[in-house]
Amino acid sequence: MVYGSNQVWAPWTVDDIHSKADLGRYRIRGMSTHQKITHFDDLTFLSTGLTRFPLEGYKEQCNTRVELGGLNAENPLVLETPIYITGMSWGALSANAKTALGKAASMVGTASCTGDGGMLPAEREASDKLIYQVLPSRYGLNPNHMATAQAIEIVVGQGAKPGTGGLLMGVKVLDEVAESRDLPPGIDQRSPARHPDWLGPDDLAIKIEQLREATDWKVPIHVKLGACRVADDVKLAAKAGADAIVIDSMVAGTGASAEILLDHSGIPTVPAIVLAREALREIGLYRKVSLIASGGIRNGADVAKALALGADAVAIGIAALIALNCNRDIPEANFEQEIGLPAGSCNRCHTGKCPVGIATQDPELVKRLDPDEGAERVANFLNSMTMELALLTRSLGKGDVKSLEPEDLAALTIEASAMARVPLVGTDKVFGM
């Protein structure tokens, strides 16, 4: 017990109640959950010693290339690094940000993804490997655009707000964005939670076939799930015919979500990967249907741990935006004055007043992000992560990131041991098994 502090009625809880008493509705913010969760930092690698020998950490060849969605597609998605840029909409992000992300992805041989709002032509031009999302809203969905994509992703749910649709405040639904989405300019857009043309997994199987037919069976069809009832959802998506399944955890980011959903729905990335892996293994499709993890991937160690737990690749959102300058005190910006929060703790993406020109449609703010310079930073970051991933992989005595496995890991906490299904350090016990 700590005198003077109250765990239940903490200052932020009191402030939350005051805010809702003023507001009369749920609160909205961007970024990701504030919950304390078990994450990749709770796992550690068991590098080589006498039981096996390492590869030369800095130089020796280590393959980072992965192929996704090869089960049915004539042209699987081949990435030079198992890290790609997740779907973030033009609307939530500026055109400059989308273009920079597409360019960065091309610079390192990976993919970027459209998001809820259709395809921005500049992103298509910039991104050699573009994943085209099909969301419940169908904003801007155009079969002519879809036919140019390197993969299709059916979004069933999003980790930051599973069970509901996207949110874009009216300040961002300006003329071009509104036109692209067929919406009245300036409205607070609340996207549908359900797809308009299918409801359950049996329908999804027909929908997947439809998209294959529309794209001549050439490109993989991904299904993206918010990580909740992972085992059953993954089995149903695989049975419906998905070539790849994206598991987006409760740690995943967003430009706007009801705070109550961000903090009180979904499960963390570590158990989500393990549950998905086991579900695929149970139905004989592990390593046949590709598994992509997203949510809170920050560095090469997180990528390596996600791969060791069973993912084939990861998708990043917030980390890529931070590389683009999110929350950076650039000379043109005055965070305190412009957004009311200091650089480093801004989560006000939904207000459209992003001081660094990323999460905004304000033409003056957008100018603060140069797409070429931004692309350079994101490409550097992707390269850094890939080098970190390769370094760790070599230190484990392996020359291919696909060889990473759960046996390479140990847990630093009992909770992590139970969730990751790896032994607690200093013991040979896997908790919960």
Partner 1 sequence: MNRSIKAAVAEGVDEIVIKNPAARHNIAVGIRQSCKIMIEGSVGYYTASQLDGPEVSIVGNAGWALGENLMSGKITLSKNAGASVGASMRGGEMFVGGSAGARAGISMKGGTLLIGGDSGFLTGFMMQKGRIIVCGSVGDAAGDSMYEGTIYVGADVGSLGADAKYEEPTEDELIELWAELQRSGVDGKPRFRKIVSQKKLYHYDTLERLERTLI
The contact set with partner 1 (CB under 8 A) reads 19, 22-25, 27, 137-138, 141-144, 146-147, 169-171, 181-184, 186-188, 192, 196-198, 203, 206-207, 209-210, 213-216, 339-340, 348, 351-353
Answer whether 386's CB lies under 8 Å from 64's CB: yes
Tell me the three state secondary structure of residue 159: coil
Q: What is the Cα–Cα distance from 244 to 111, expressed in whole angstroms?
A: 14
Radius of gyration of the chain from its Cα atoms, rounded to whole angstroms: 21
Q: What is the Cα–Cα distance from 111 to 431, expressed in whole angstroms?
A: 37
Q: With respect to partner 1, which residue has the nearer C-beta, 186 or 397?
A: 186
Q: What is the Cα–Cα distance from 430 to 275, expressed in whole angstroms?
A: 15
Distance of CA 343 to CAs 30, 50, 301, 331, Å? 14, 46, 25, 12
What is the nearest approach in angstroms of partner 1 to the Cβ of residue 219?
12
Q: With respect to partner 1, which residue has the nearer C-beta, 99 or 137?
A: 137
What is the nearest approach in angstroms of partner 1 to the Cβ of residue 407?
44
Q: Where would I find the H helices in 127-200? A: 143-146, 175-181
Going through 77-196 in order, the beta strands assigned E by DSSP cover: 77-79, 83-85, 112-113, 130-134, 151-155, 167-168, 189-190
Asked whether the CA dihedral 116, 119, 120, 124 is positive or negative, the reply is positive
Q: With respect to partner 1, which residue has the nearer C-beta, 21 or 50?
A: 21
Q: What is the Cα–Cα distance from 429 to 309, expressed in whole angstroms?
A: 17
Q: With respect to partner 1, which residue has the nearer C-beta, 187 or 260?
A: 187
Strand partners, 225: 247
How many CB atoms are located within 10 Å of the residue 252 CB? Answer: 31
What is the nearest approach in angstroms of partner 1 to the Cβ of residue 175?
15
Q: With respect to partner 1, which residue has the nearer C-beta, 27 or 65?
A: 27
What angle (nearest 5°) sits at the alpha carbon of residue 328, between those of residues 327 and 331? 135
Q: With respect to partner 1, which residue has the nearer C-beta, 56 or 213?
A: 213
Q: What is the Cα–Cα distance from 228 to 354, expressed in whole angstroms?
A: 31
Q: What is the Cα–Cα distance from 281 to 70, expressed in whole angstroms?
A: 17
Q: With respect to partner 1, which residue has the nearer C-beta, 218 or 287?
A: 218
What is the nearest approach in angstroms of partner 1 to the Cβ of residue 115?
17
Residue 129: partners with Cβ closer than 8 Å, 6 or more residues away: 77, 79, 84, 105, 106, 109, 110, 111, 112, 150, 151
What is the nearest approach in angstroms of partner 1 to the Cβ of residue 203?
7
What is the nearest approach in angstroms of partner 1 to the Cβ of residue 195?
8
Q: With respect to partner 1, which residue has the nearer C-beta, 171 or 414?
A: 171
What is the nearest approach in angstroms of partner 1 to the Cβ of residue 197?
4
What is the nearest approach in angstroms of partner 1 to the Cβ of residue 16?
11
User: Which stretch of DSSP H or E encloses residue 353?
Assistant: none
Q: With respect to partner 1, which residue has the nearer C-beta, 64 or 133?
A: 133
How many CB atoms are located within 10 Å of the residue 427 CB? Answer: 12
What is the nearest approach in angstroms of partner 1 to the Cβ of residue 348?
7
What is the nearest approach in angstroms of partner 1 to the Cβ of residue 148?
12
Answer whether 128's CB lies under 8 Å from 103's CB: no
What is the nearest approach in angstroms of partner 1 to the Cβ of residue 63?
35
Side-chain half-sphere CA neighbours of 411 within 13 A: 24
Q: With respect to partner 1, which residue has the nearer C-beta, 74 or 125?
A: 74
Q: What is the Cα–Cα distance from 168 to 30, expressed in whole angstroms?
A: 11
User: How many residues can be counted in the chain?
Assistant: 433
Q: With respect to partner 1, which residue has the nearer C-beta, 138 or 239?
A: 138
